[in-house]
Amino acid sequence: MYTVKVSATTTNGSFGFIEASVPPGAGSIAHVHRRTDESFYLVSGELEFLDGDRTFTARSGDFIFVPRGNRHRFTNTGLHTTKLLFVFTPGRRRETLCRRWRRAPARGGPASVGPESFEQTREVIERFDLDVEGVPELP
């Protein structure tokens, strides 16, 4: 679940500030932002993190900076929900992406994040200028 804490609109597009709750087994797929730097701060919990070719465990209090062009992902391999803060510079595109991928909760369950179909995945990748592993090249 993503919550926008500081909108890029209020920073004139300079950055976006988002809080995430990452349940066990959840996370992001490996991807690259072509035009956005991304910084992560773990408030609580642990994440297995990929940054470029390096995989490591990030723990509460750790700060990770991922410059644009670096392949990265995170996965909660622990037993409890991880709280994570991240900043995108510039902010507007990534903040909109987080809002675009948020879906309503299934009956009785938590909200999920992610596209509903392969076509939506392709549209989001193209619109937000991402490179994502496991998704065929766009025509």
Residue-range domains of the chain with CATH: 2-132 (2.60.120.10)
Question: Does residue 20 contact residue 1 with C-beta atoms inside 8 Å?
Answer: yes
Q: Determine the average pLDDT of the residues in 5-33.
A: 85
pTM for the full predicted model = 0.69
Mean pLDDT, the chain, whole residue set: 75
The C-alpha R_g of the chain, in whole angstroms, comes to 14
Per-residue pLDDT at 106: 39
Give residue-wise pLDDT tens across range 73-88.
999 999 999 999 988 8
Beta-strand runs (E) in the chain: 2-6, 16-22, 31-33, 37-44, 46-51, 54-59, 63-66, 72-75, 82-89, 102-103, 112-113, 130-132
- How does residue 92 score in pLDDT terms, banded at 50, 70 and 90? low
- How does residue 129 score in pLDDT terms, banded at 50, 70 and 90? low
Quickly list H helices, 5-137.
Answer: 92-101, 118-127
Per-residue pLDDT at 2: 80
> Per residue, what are the HEC states of 94-125?
HHHHHHHHEECCCCCCCCEECCCCHHHHHHHH
Q: Determine the average pLDDT of the residues in 99-103.
A: 46
